Structure 1
Amino acid sequence: MSAQGEGGGTWTATATAGRWTLAVPPTGSPAASVVLDTETAWRLCTRGIDPATALGRARIQGEPRLAVAACEIVSVVH
């Protein structure tokens, strides 16, 4: 997932045996990518908007079901 704009960045979620990890993207082509503007990413992660709204604003490449899963993200801001 990539959030473009001030404060944005790019992260990769990788499925491993029984868990997911979040890290800086490795080299190579991802199975899917989701690009959001930072405002949409912030609202999605804090549930200010629903995943369907975020998907409507996203630029998606690759496997659609993975993009949909990525937009189920929830973050706890402390």
Structure 2
Amino acid sequence: MRSKHTLNNYRKETFLPTIMDRGYLAIEKDPLGKNIRKRAKALYPKLMEKYVGPQVPEEIVKKMEEIIAR
């Protein structure tokens, strides 16, 4: 991390998981992964509030409905 560019961009470019711990101590403290389940359950509603489904063009929807109606 000698380069100023690396220091400034390291956090942005490195994936840091929000629900799991990467360290070996986390496994020792919680060998069955119960804490990860709790964090996932807490995070799920927040993510679903922000979720926007894919936008399918109306033309494709009509074609799909025609195929299904056969």
Q: Shorter-normalised TM-score: what interval?
A: under 0.3
Question: What's the TM-score once normalised by structure 1's chain length?
Answer: 0.19
Bigger fraction of residues in strand:
1
Q: Which structure's CA Rg is the greater one?
A: 2
Bigger fraction of residues in helix:
2
Question: What's the TM-score once normalised by structure 2's chain length?
Answer: 0.20
